[in-house]
Amino acid sequence: MAYNILVVDDSETMRAVIAKSIGLAGVALGSLFQAANGAEGIEVLRREWVDLVLADINMPVLNGVGMVTQMKADPGMGDIPVLIVSSEGSATRLQALKDQGVKGFLRKPFTPEELKKAMESVLGAHHE
Amino acid sequence: MNEETRTRIGNVLFDVLEKQAFLFGDPGEAPDLASVDGYLAASVTFAGAAAGRVSLAVPASMAAELASNILGCEPDDPAAAAAAEDACREILNIVCGHVLTELYGSTPVFDLGLLESGHLSADQAPDWTASEGGMALSVEGSPVLLRVEIPGGIPPGTPT
């Protein structure tokens, strides 16, 4: 199965790194969508089929926490698994995101292998 | 800021640069500020259990290498030059997250402000390093500047 993946990060450089890491990880990729903030990410989710969202937290316009909140409140996108990819180190915030339904967390900086493991964990759990 | 805290914060920068950009620091080497013409600088504010600002400055001559290493392209690739500022901001973003955990532990929640970037002239560098939370570190033989400003003071010990 090839996955359609949405990468949401305000850093174009980091989106490129994540895209490259997905390729290096050998994940079966359908389409790769990119968005520079949570609001753009929501727009992508409204018009495209997405199997997995990789989202940063600290972004302008709408941050990752706000994006997850909007996603979970929308029946059309509430079930899409989210993997947070961020430099966030607060266990308190991560627990709050987990309580909202976020499936996984990967702290920057990361290796392609770590990204692969995190994605497999989230996708595996979602399909169990 | 005491020396132990300074070392811990410096190690955070070394770890992030090594893992994300394949740039290696030397904690035992004194950086030569006079070797740099100017810097690409970035800063971000934070608020939460404490409020402050973290800033990073890399030599302009290193910025493209930083970006190229992150992107996996050649340093003379136009894409590296185009991404230099964004790459510097992103490294700072990662460093800031890890510095806050290093100083305050994993319980407090911090909100980061928007990342800003600009240029720092060579003659401004000594003021950076002389300030309370400022330091210059040697990375690949070049000075990289890091400054942590917390008006209430930088916590001296390891968080419990």
The predicted pLDDT at position A128 comes to 52
C-alpha A69 chain-centroid distance: 13
Mean pLDDT of the region A49-76: 96
Mean pLDDT of the region A47-68: 96
The fraction of chain A above a pLDDT of 70, given in percent, is 97
**Domains of chain A by start residue, with CATH:** 3-127 (3.40.50.2300)
The predicted pLDDT at position B112 comes to 94
The predicted pLDDT at position B19 comes to 94
The DSSP output letter for B25 is B
The predicted pLDDT at position B156 comes to 76
Tens-digit pLDDT profile for chain B (160 aa)?
Answer: 888 999 999 999 999 999 999 999 999 888 889 889 999 999 999 999 999 999 999 999 899 999 999 998 988 899 999 999 999 999 999 999 999 999 999 999 999 999 999 999 999 999 989 998 999 999 999 999 999 999 988 887 777 6
Nearest by CB to B89, from A11, A17, A20: name it: A11
Nearest by CB to A16, from B71, B98, B101: name it: B71
Mean pLDDT of the region A70-82: 96
Q: Structurally, what CATH architecture does the domain formed by B3-149 represent?
A: 3-Layer(aba) Sandwich (3.40)
| Closest of B25, B35, B53 to residue B154, by C-alpha | B53
Q: Is B147 on the interface with A (CB under 8 A)?
A: no
**Structure-token pair, residue A16:** 């490129």
The predicted pLDDT at position A14 comes to 96
Q: How far is B151 from chain A (nearest CA, A)?
A: 21
pLDDT in tens, A13-32: 999 999 999 988 888 899 99
Could you write out the three-class secondary structure of B27-44? CCCCCCHHHCCEEEEEEE
Helix count and strand count (H, E) for chain A: 5, 5
Q: Is B93 on the interface with A (CB under 8 A)?
A: yes
C-alpha B48 chain-centroid distance: 20
Residue A126 pLDDT > 80: no
Query: Which residues of chain B are within 8 Å of residue A93 when distances are taken between CB atoms?
Result: 109
- Residue A44 near residue A17, CB atoms below 8 Å: no
Inter-chain residue contact B110 with A90, CB threshold 8 Å: yes
Q: In this complex, how many residue pairs, one in chain A and one in chain B, have their CB atoms less than 8 Å apart?
A: 62
Inter-chain residue contact A13 with B70, CB threshold 8 Å: yes
The predicted pLDDT at position B157 comes to 73
Q: Tell me what ipTM this predicted complex has.
A: 0.91
Local structure of B74: helix, strand or coil: coil
Q: Is B152 on the interface with A (CB under 8 A)?
A: no
Nearest by CB to A109, from B19, B83, B107: name it: B19
pTM, entire model: 0.94
Inter-chain residue contact A12 with B112, CB threshold 8 Å: no
Q: Is A93 on the interface with B (CB under 8 A)?
A: yes
Q: How far is A60 from chain B (nearest CA, A)?
A: 7
- Residue A97 near residue B4, CB atoms below 8 Å: no
The fraction of chain A above a pLDDT of 90, given in percent, is 85
Q: Is A31 on the interface with B (CB under 8 A)?
A: no
The predicted pLDDT at position A118 comes to 95
Q: Is B16 on the interface with A (CB under 8 A)?
A: yes
The predicted pLDDT at position B76 comes to 87
Q: Which residues pair with B39 in a beta bridge?
A: B59, B120
What does pLDDT average to over chain A? 93
Q: Is B85 on the interface with A (CB under 8 A)?
A: no
Cα gap B32→B142, rounded to integer Å = 7
